[in-house]
Structure 1
């Protein structure tokens, strides 16, 4: 399975950049495809995947594969092949044509490796399909793998996961966003799993009893494994209400061909009566309209990393605000005990969102962590009606909150207006466009949190005050 590269550049350079084998069932879908730009120059084409499904005995589908132009990129998507009404089943994929882990778990040894955290489900599926690919046409998954290779993990907005972007591109295109750190952590995790592959090879021989090939790290380089891992990650469906071995599933005509939406009410579900994974329409569809499925309650950062998409109307989008009390704080133990009584800790992360720009416990928490007197810690209350404990404490808490929100906004290299211009111009291409969508959404959340803070009593005075130096860490 091949991977892909992308390129991130700062706002002033963006325009230049644009120029220059078996059988398995599974569980319900959680997938996203955010605001998908209008499709242009749509075209139907024969689908090798549909042909393979038909020849493999799958029932007729009320869907087809169609090529659309998005952000200057040809993208294949699953669309309705006829008008659909709510509740009508559009996709019916038999269990035997779905790749799941219980095809891989041929002995308890490998299952134990996964359940004890030795190797993730995604790494197991990646390794399994990588070796199946080497079997070529001898593999019963040959046609499916060939289609996965062709798509290369490209999402419905035309961009690949930033895990496959070129070196330094994510840091440049997504500058200012905490997602850069998440990408780095995910890449480090993939590398760690790569280093464990040979252990699986030697300890779980039944997985590879049909594979006359060398151990994984001799067969696949880290870049090849990372590309294959990301392609599998972009396709996997999380099915609900099934046993563990069927929880992660690769479903033909599912993602990334299937459009993910954070607001769709349709889900890919395993039907135990028919032993099929099915997608029922949640609304009326016209022929040729892209089919959508719910991606689950995932923030845009996860949608981008997993599927290369961003949903600007995502109601589950959020940004973390992390606060840490240093252990050398003179009131550390008193604050720790006070916070513990509220189910909070001395290292706490709050989630900012459009719906909740200021989480209910955030300001009371800041009053406790910025307290310099025992009486102020004792006076702090949580919940409805929580009030300031002292004027100087309230000034510090609000000043610190305004300061960190302004600082985070200042780290972005583009304004929302510049992001919107990139999104509106197809010349920029998929990666700068999807990056601009993410940055715009994050700035909206931070601006909303800042506005909500400035509307609090005493906040204007605190905002006019010079940043107050404290030992509390806020990022």
Structure 2
């Protein structure tokens, strides 16, 4: 046995080696070449990691599984190699599940054997805990990351299927035959070198479920068709309308029969074939009429009185508003609804008062997630779906725009905000499966539906946008009621920056008191009543970029509109720390955001100058003088002043040049009454941004003209502040 001092030295050396590997993992995970080099280092260190497996767990906290996936995998695989007690299994399951959800596919595919090993140990742990349901979603995520394509089977599929069977997490048992057919079809048609038992069993189930789901009605339909008796064929279809209906199926049935009739077997005579064609065409026309009638019926059911009548039925007291309709610019979408005065109103009148029983809050619905037609909230959910987050100009949020439509925002920071928000929504969507298996009690009504299978991303994004446009931030209420969806609230209410009316929580209700007179039929307006979880909370005015992002419209008279200029001290400057201290002393940061409000562009430029001048100080003695002074003003030489103003003017010119159009071109576009609505709101936004930037540029040029000596050359500035 080694002496104690030798053991301590060996332990110290091992820990240092492990720490060195952690540094390698952190530093070599950014590019493909770095990760390849890291992979070689990790393979050389496998013996060390295995020998120190019991000491590795704390080091995982130093790594980000989404950025350092390969290194995290090697350490996690070593950590889980030793047997674990049942008491430790729960913590281990959570740790592995988070890794499987967050890890980068391109990194873990470099070590597929280790990834499979970790996944199989994960399966063993959930089996040990006797909670197979907890393993379904993470293993599904792992399979998707390991697969080169969705058509490939992996060595994890048997483990995944085993957990699904034990958890009874399969579509057939839930009588979701169509989904079961789709999944079994994928199994049967997946590429395989040899026939295997899984494919054979899947094929048997596919035939069985096909007969259950599609069999009898269609077998009888074929029998009627083969007999050649038109009256029986037509009578059977009519008698089984409910079976064939999902109206499109009825239409499809007749369409298929029509196409078949054009090439009937020779055993039918010419007269019979002709009569059959005519009768089928007549039946097809009647089916089309049925479709049309159903669409009319659905439209009547969706009439704008529907939401309000549901509210009155469930406690909404008499109010002074009606729901009116505005035509959608997109023929694919229904007209939007908006709240209008039902009678003449005066400032101070209560337009409506929605009882708390009709207001959706965490307190009201958490744990009651029923969303079908039997749900109490169905009429309101139907209205949200109808509105699709469209604001008062009937345009969707740019989050739902195509790439071509987003090009209308070229040059505007709003385009980057839209893309960032869309990425955030995608991350939320990808987290659904993890939330589903870790917090199953929230989904108790749908315990076997994996969210990302039940709801495609596009549907989730549309729902996100619809809710985003409706959330109201109530004041002076408990946290559980602070964020609310209020029927008759946004986006049914219009927005005006100069309005002071807002939805307010009162005793037992949420009410709207108008701040101006209205004539009957006029649209009701409010100030900003939405809490934007990505930017801030509170009922406060909002700039146009956020109005477009959240509601799909722009307020051209918005007195609170603004743009942002970000300035940053140069971190490579030897005097960076001193400048940072001076900036903080004067209420600024090393990366400072300046807000340029409409109509106050000169003031904004004046506010930027001292900060930029601080960044231009290069002489150490001058810097000491600045540190010892108490004010925000730096000593400014003529050449420094010219350099600062030149940089600022160049910045504004660069931003203006980044837009696809000029101000005069924007004016011409907006004069076209047939301009695409999305392009119109985008043009309105960029035009207002360019007007503010142009005003800033004019203010800067005016300052240059006021310099005592315009011939002075700008000072060189190796560490000039950065503007973006």
Length-normalised TM-score, structure 2: 0.52
Task: After TM superposition, give the deviation of residue 175 of structure 1 in Å.
Answer: 0.6
Closer/same/farther in 2, CA of residues 470 and 187 from structure 1, 3 Å limit: farther
Query: Relative to structure 2, which stretch is displaced further, 161-170 or 226-235?
Result: 161-170
CA distance in 1, matches of 2:403, 2:471: 25
Q: Does 1:59 align with 2:317?
A: yes
Indicate the residue corresponding to 2:551 in structure 1: 307
Q: Which residue does the alignment assign to 1:96?
A: 357
SS of 2:511's partner is strand
- Within 2, Cα distance between the matches of 1:306 and 1:169? 16
CA shift for structure 1 position 385: 9.1
Report the counterpart of residue 383 of structure 2 in structure 1: 147
> Which structure is richer in relative contact order (CA contacts within 8 A, separation 6 or more)?
1
Alignment of 1:49 with 2:307, yes or no, is yes
Q: Which residue of 1 aligns with 2:567?
A: 323
Does residue 455 (structure 1) correspond to residue 713 (structure 2)? The answer is no
Secondary structure class of the residue paired with 2:373? helix
> Residues 219 and 46 (structure 1 numbering): CA distance in 2 closer, same or farther, change over 3 Å?
closer
Cα pair 1:310 1:437 within 8 Å, conserved: yes
**Which residues of 2 match residues 432-471 of structure 1 at below 5 A?**
432-456=679-703, 471=719
- Once the two structures are TM-superposed, the CA of residue 433 in structure 1 deviates from its matched residue by 0.9
Secondary structure of the corresponding residue to residue 137 of structure 1: coil
Q: Shift of residue 457 of structure 1?
A: 5.4
1:312 and 1:437 in contact (8 A); partners too: yes
**1:368-412 deviation line (CA, Å, top 9, x unaligned):** 012222344455599999475211211111111111011111111
Deviations 1:240-278 (A, max 9, x none): 111111121111111111101221010011112xx1111
Quote the offset at 1:72 in angstroms. 8.1
Q: In the alignment, is residue 203 of structure 1 matched against residue 449 of structure 2?
A: no
Determine the structure 1 residue equivalent to 2:527: 294
Counterpart-to-counterpart distance in 2, 1:141 and 1:51 = 13
Q: Distance in 1 between matches of 2:403 and 2:442?
A: 34
Counterpart secondary structure, 1:435: helix
Query: Which residue in 1 is equivalent to 2:455?
Result: 220
State the 1:205 CA deviation.
3.2
Mapped partners of 1:152, 1:51: distance in 2: 21
**1: CA distance, partners of 2:714 / 2:659:** 22
After superposition, the C-alpha distances for 1:85-120 in whole angstroms (9 at most, x for unaligned) are: 1111112111111111223445xxxxxxxxxxxxxx
For 1:40, the equivalent position in structure 2 comes to none
Shift of 1:57: 2.2
2:663 alignment counterpart = 416
The residue matched to 1:266 in structure 2 has which SS?
A: coil
Provide the secondary structure at the position in 1 that maps to 2:659: coil
Alignment pair present for 1:354 and 2:598:
yes
C-alpha change, 1:154 and 1:373, in structure 2 (3 Å) is: same
Worse overlay, 213-222 or 318-327: 213-222
Preserved CA contact (<8 Å) 2:440 2:447: no
Range moving further from structure 2, 414-423 or 322-331: 414-423
Aligned residue for 2:403, secondary structure, equals coil
Structure 2: stretches of 5+ with no match in the other structure: 1-302, 529-539
Q: Secondary structure at the match of 2:565?
A: strand
Assess, with a 3 A threshold, how the Cα gap between structure 1 residues 182 and 385 changes in structure 2: closer, same or farther: closer
Match of 1:278 among 491, 511, 515: 511
Partners of 1:318 and 1:383 in 2: how far apart? 31
Q: How far off is 1:362 after superposition?
A: 1.0
The equivalent residue for 1:112 is none
Q: Is the 8 A contact 1:162 1:308 kept in 2?
A: yes
Q: Deviations over 1:117-166 (max 9, x none)?
A: xxxxxxxxxxx8xx643xx2111111111111111111111211000001
Determine the C-alpha separation between the residues in 2 that align with 1:404 and 1:102.
49
Q: Residue 408 and residue 467 in structure 1: after superposition, are their counterparts in 2 closer, same or farther (change >3 A)? A: farther
How far has the Cα of 1:84 moved from its partner? 0.4
Q: In 2, are the aligned partners of 1:161 and 1:304 still within 8 Å (CA)? A: yes
The answer for the alignment partner of 2:503 in structure 1 is 268
Aligned runs of 1:8-47 on 2, under 5 Å?
46-47=304-305
Alpha-carbon distance in structure 2 between the residues aligned to 1:95 and 1:209: 25
The 2-side partners of 1:462 and 1:188 are apart by 48
Question: How many matched pairs?
Answer: 403
1:339 to 583, 596, 608: 583
Paired residue secondary structure (1:323): strand
Q: 1:370 to 1:98 in 2, by over 3 A?
A: same
Query: Which consecutive unaligned segments of at least 5 residues does structure 1 have?
Result: 1-44, 107-127
Q: Name the structure 1 match of 2:232.
A: none
SS of alignment partner, residue 426 of structure 1: coil
Q: Is the 8 A contact 2:405 2:679 kept in 1?
A: no
* Residue in 2 that maps onto 1:19: none
Counterpart CA distance in 1 for 2:558 and 2:625 is 38
Counterparts of 1:366-381 in structure 2, within 5 Å, are 366-378=612-624
TM-score by length of 1: 0.78
Q: Which has the higher strand share?
A: 1
Matched residue, 1:21: none
The answer (yes or no) to whether the contact 1:364–1:380 under 8 Å persists in 2 is: no
Residues 88 and 248 (structure 1), Cα distance of their counterparts in 2 relative to 1, 3 Å cut: same
Contact 2:470 2:489 survives alignment (8 Å): yes
Contact kept in structure 1, 2:645 and 2:704, CA below 8 Å? no
Provide the C-alpha distance between the structure 2 equivalents of 1:467 and 1:303, rounded to a whole number of angstroms.
42
Whether contact under 8 Å (2:563, 2:595) holds in the other structure is: yes
Between stretches 401-410 and 459-468, larger displacement belongs to 459-468
Q: Are residues 270 and 331 of structure 1, via their aligned partners in 2, closer, same or farther at CA, if it must alter by over 3 Å?
A: same
Distance 1:254 1:353 in 2: 28
State the distance in 2 between where 1:465 and 1:81 align: 67
Shift of the 422–76 alpha-carbon distance from structure 1 to 2, 3 Å rule, reads farther
Taking structure 1 as reference, are residues 383 and 224 closer, same or farther at Cα in structure 2, changes over 3 Å only?
farther
CA contact (8 A) 2:614 2:634 kept: no
Structure-2 residue corresponding to 1:113: none
Q: In 2, distance between residues paired with 1:365 and 1:174?
A: 30
Distance 1:383 1:454 in 2: 29
Q: Which has the larger radius of gyration?
A: 2
Call closer, same or farther: CA 1:315–1:469 in 2, change over 3 Å: same
